[in-house]
Chains A and B, each alone.
Chain A
Amino acid sequence: MRAIYAFGLLILIAFLGARFITKRKAFSPVNYFFSSGLIYIFLGLSLGRSGFNILSPSVLTGLTPLISLGLGWVGFLFGFQLEAKYLRRFPRKYKSLSFVQFLFVFLLCGLIFSLVLKQIYPSERTFLLYGMGLAFGLLLSINSPTLLNMASSVIPEKGNYYYLARFLVSVSGFWGIVGLALLSCFWHYPIFESKIFLRGSLLLLFSSGFPLLIGYLFHFLTKKKVSGEQMLVYFLGFVFFVSGTSFYFNLLPLYMSVVMGITYSNLTRIHEKLYPLLLSTEKPLYIIFLILIGALWEVYFDYRLALLVILMILLRFLGYLLPMPLFKVILDFPLRLPTRFGFSFLSSGGIGLAFAVSLKLAFPLPLTDVFLSAALSGILITEFISPWGVRISIFKLDEEERK
């Protein structure tokens, strides 16, 4: 009977979504929460072991390929946007700001989380706690472009701040994912007992070289005339293959897929052919991915977890707000960088979720269950307030600049 309840629930949510949500065009937190699909995490939660148990752990094992596809797809899409031709259009100072911002947030958050984790989990091994602290730092350094994409339809005239923020959120994920790839190669699970540097370097080489080769093969197969169905099969096949290889060798699926996406994007000349396919598969795949993330989430309450969530939210604000004036001085940035510009970077969206799940799957440890729970809670809360952040930062700053 549980299957019937779940089926009913799905129809109900879709019905509510269709009737009430899509008709609201306002750029509000509630609307963003629904229209970005984040609500599906709760559907997954209700279908998972914390709810009806339709997506029980054994069913989820059968659905591992879909999780792998979801991670691979998010990574590929992210990498596909990092086309050198597009990135070259932005001034060098923008790129410097992106890196400095990443470094600041990563170091600040990584350090604080490492210290706090050491205090609240005294019995865990230190190097694991530091690894997790750094992972929190990397997670917080990631932003998602989804929110700003949605905001673009309600901003009448986009100014410099919008384009700067758009660039920063698009690129920030790259640094974070590369950081996590380094972490997962050198802190590889199962833990290397000896020759850590050599083995880590080999894994990093493989993590980068293999998707590069597959990206090239994808390009080779699609450079001649290719039909929509061929494109779909190759795309799904290669995303599964790369993501599956990373699962098989306990590497980071997100990183490997990003590398494949970057390779393909910089080789191919048929972006316009792949974009419609990516757009048409985007929603169903993303929704399924969110449902599965929700089902993977084991909900529990613990004061340490609550502390980590609060810390995540707090550091998200501090990490992005505090250093803005400092960056202006250090980089001699052409635009004014007021503190409130940092409010534009509260959302980490799908890429943040994929990051958290990717880490959990690469490190199947009890400690990473804590990471996943804290990360999902923290991300959902900051996602909810992020439209407000964009409203008081980019909307206002661009308006002031115009005046």
Chain B
Amino acid sequence: MIPLLLIFVLMFVLKNPVLLPFANPDQSTSISLGFILVFAYLLGSHLKRLSLPLITGFILAGILCGPDVLKFITPSDVQDLDLLDGLALSLIALTAGGEMNIQRLKGRFKTVSSIVFFQTVVVLLGFVLLGFFGRSFVSFLEEGTLFQVLAFSLLLGTLSTPTSPATTIAIITETKASGKYTDLVLGSAVVKDFFVILIFAFSLSISKSVTMSSHEFDLSFLLQILEEVGGSVFLGLLIGGGIILYLKYIKRDVTVFILSVAFFSYQISHNYGYHPLLICLVAGFLAENFSAQGKLLIAAIEKSSVPIYVVFFALSGASLNLGALRQTWHLALICVVWRGVLKFAGTFFGARITKEEAGVQKWAWTGFISQAGVALGMAIVVEQNFPEWGGEFMALVLAIIAINQIIGPIFLQRLLFKVKEAGKKQ
């Protein structure tokens, strides 16, 4: 506890306004990064003693030191660290893709598809129902037309569907889990992330058409999304091929190479509108399944996985919008609970149809609570496309993500311990 307090006090003194005349606030990125690395890790380690996941500590540290609370990490720091955050996300996605071993997943493919299908349908329908029956509790929906309610709830349902692959892989890595539940949760999270982008394109096009006076179905966005997804998959295949060749013939400076792959993916997705997560998922998947050197890739990333997770999750904590949570916490809480119920129902039906064991039917849903990344990006698109209620929608989604990102890792960790898969990885 003493080091945690000491580092906290040191940062408090260094960032004290009294010292501001001697400081160069434009150069605060590295000090913030260094502080958060140590502070978040120490906090995570303390929480681990209370049987909570490390990444919950990282996220809480980010929230505590972020722009909404102590302001040790300023909004400009978060912005400046966007590149490192993107690098971390790419590396995490490479690991997640690399964990998707076809041989291992072959027997589980039916269950994964069934869970993904039922979760998606149940969550979408459930949120549409919630929108219609609960509209009187939401001021801006109460005044809206039925079509607007449909658009709002359909999009909210779409954004509630995905599970964060980054959080999932981080918990799996931390608990060193391996087995049926691990494969099901990770497999479903990755597959869902892929499909939810397409579903979002449909939902957005439908929402736009029902809210427009002409009721025309706008295909342009759908086509744009298809192009982005197709382009990302193609790039992922290209990069995956490059990784295979590199690991086979060169093998030199693998860490530097992997970092440059992550940087390249981030740059290209940033500049041309592709999805870094999809690119790296596909690349990692290809390297793992179509070359004998896939293990080398994962080993190179896992060697430095902890600092990557600290940076990524602490920054995601610092980016969580507590203002939005304060505004809409009651509504957000209802949505979180409802999402949990729907996740349970979707997983239950999905597992039951494929005759999975009772444990999967009853408990696997707890692995699907975390939510971030892709949902956040989609919320921004919704805000831009529906200026009348996009702001309220964005605030609600941010609040839901904030809650799910805190409780999601805890649920997943508990699941992996409960089913005794934690610590099973060789």
| Interface of A toward B, CB cutoff 8 Å | 3-4, 6-7, 10-11, 14-15, 17-18, 22, 54, 59, 61-65, 68-69, 213, 217, 220-221, 229-230, 232-234, 236-245, 247-250, 280, 283-284, 287-288
The answer to whether B260 touches A10, judged by C-beta atoms less than 8 angstroms apart, is yes
How far is A257 from B35 in the complex, measured between Cα atoms in Å?
15
Q: A241-B7, A244-B29, A248-B27 are in contact. List 14 more A-B contacts (CB 8 A).
A: A3-B271, A10-B260, A54-B267, A59-B267, A217-B6, A217-B7, A237-B37, A239-B34, A240-B34, A244-B31, A249-B23, A283-B256, A284-B255, A284-B256
- Cβ of A18: which chain B residues have Cβ within 8 Å of it? 249-252
Cα A229 to Cα B257 with chains together (Å): 21
Write out, one digit per residue, whether chain B residues 256-280 have a CB within 8 A of any chain A CB (1) or not (0): 1101110010011001000000000
> Within 8 Å CB of B257, what residues of A?
10-11, 14
Q: In the complex, what's the smallest C-beta–C-beta distance from B8 to chain A, in angstroms?
A: 12
A61 to B79, CA, bound (A): 11
Within 8 A of A (CB), among B39-69: 41, 45
Min CB gap B368→A, angstroms:
27
B133 lies within 8 A of chain A by Cβ: no
Q: Among B10, B27, B305, find the residue whose CB has the most chain A CB atoms closer than 10 A.
A: B27
Does A15 lie within 8 Å of B30, measured CB to CB?
Answer: no
Partner of B268, one of A3, A221, A232, A236: A3
Q: A14-B252, A63-B83 are in contact. Are A233 and B33 (CB under 8 A)?
A: no
Contact B6 A247 (CB under 8 A): no
Q: Is B253 an interface residue (CB 8 A)?
A: yes
Q: Chain B: residues with CB nearer than 8 A to chain A? A: 2-3, 6-7, 10, 14, 19, 22-25, 27-35, 37-38, 41, 45, 80-84, 242, 246, 249-253, 255-257, 259-261, 264, 267-268, 271, 303-307, 310
Residues of chain A with a CB closer than 8 A to B306's CB: 229, 232-233
CB distance from A45 to the nearest CB of B (A): 16
> Contact partner of A7 among B37, B45, B80, B260, CB < 8 A?
B260
Instruction: Give the contacting residue for B14; candidates A61, A234, A248; CB below 8 A.
Output: A248
A residues near B28, Cβ cutoff 8 Å: 244, 248
Q: Which residues of A contact B305 (CB under 8 A)?
A: 229
Q: Give A213's nearest chain B residue, CB to CB.
A: B10
Q: Is the CB of B27 within 8 A of A17?
A: no
Q: Is the CB of A240 within 8 A of B246?
A: no
In the assembled complex, which residues on chain A have CB atoms less than 8 Å from the CB atom of B27? 64, 244, 247-248, 250
- Chain B residues whose CB sits within 8 angstroms of the CB of A247 once the complex forms: 24, 27, 30-31
> Do the beta carbons of B38 and A238 come within 8 Å of each other?
yes
**Which residues from chain B contact A288 at a C-beta distance below 8 Å?**
256, 259
Distance in angstroms between the alpha carbons of A243 and B10 in the assembled complex: 14
**Contact between A7 and B41, CB atoms less than 8 A apart:** no
Report the nearest B residue to A199, measured CB to CB. Answer: B22
Contact between chains at B3 and A14 (CB < 8 Å):
no
- Number of residue pairs spanning A and B whose beta carbons lie under 8 angstroms apart: 142
- Nearest CB in chain B to that of A18: its residue: B252
A229 to B174, CA, bound (A): 11
Q: Is the CB of B83 within 8 A of A237?
A: no
- Verify A250–B24 contact, CB threshold 8 A: yes
B80 touches A236 (CB 8 A): no
Complex CA–CA separation, A212 to B310 (angstroms)? 25
- Residues of A near B22 (CB, < 8 A) are 249
Q: Which of A17, A229, A242, A250 has the most CB of B within 10 A?
A: A229
Contact A62 B80 (CB under 8 A): yes
Among A11, A61, A220, A283, the residue within 8 A (CB) of B242 is A11
Is B37 a contact of A240 with CB atoms below 8 Å?
A: yes
The winner among B246, B249, B267 for most chain A CB atoms within 10 A is B267
| Chain A residues within 8 Å of B30, by CB | 64-65, 68-69, 240, 243-244, 247-248
A4–B81 Cα distance when bound, in Å, is 23
Which chain B residues border A249 with CB–CB below 8 Å? 19, 22-24
Q: How far is the CA of A22 from the CA of B251 in the complex (A)?
A: 12
Contact: B264 with A7, CB < 8 Å? yes
Q: Is the CB of A237 within 8 A of B80?
A: no
Q: List 6 A-B contacts (CB under 8 A).
A: A17-B253, A65-B81, A240-B34, A242-B34, A248-B27, A284-B256
CA distance A188 to B27 in the complex (A): 16
Docked CA distance A284–B91 (Å): 15
A14 to B260, CA, bound (A): 12
Residues in B whose Cβ lies below 8 Å from that of A248: 14, 23-25, 27-28, 30-31
Chain A residues with CB under 8 Å of B38's CB are: 233-234, 237-238, 241
Residue in B closest to A236 when the chains form the complex, CB atoms: B307
Indicate which residue in B19, B23, B34, B82 contacts A241 across the interface (CB closer than 8 Å): B34
A250 to B27, CA, bound (A): 9
| A17, A54, A68, most chain B CB atoms within 10 A | A68
Which residue of A63, A69, A232, A241 contacts B304 across the interface (Cβ within 8 Å)? A232
Q: How distant is the Cα of A220 from the Cα of B2 in the complex, in angstroms?
A: 10
Given contacts A3-B267, A7-B264, A15-B249, is CB(A233)–CB(B37) below 8 Å?
A: yes
Tell me the bound Cα distance from A244 to B39 in angstroms: 15
A245 to B253, CA, bound (A): 30
**Those 6 A-B pairs whose CB atoms lie nearest each other, nearest first:** A244-B30, A240-B34, A241-B34, A244-B31, A237-B37, A62-B83
Residues of A within 8 A of B255 (CB): 283-284
Asked if A244 and B33 make an inter-chain contact with CB atoms under 8 angstroms apart, the answer reads yes
Task: Report the separation of the CA atoms of residues A7 and B279 in the bound assembly, to the nearest whole angstrom.
Answer: 15
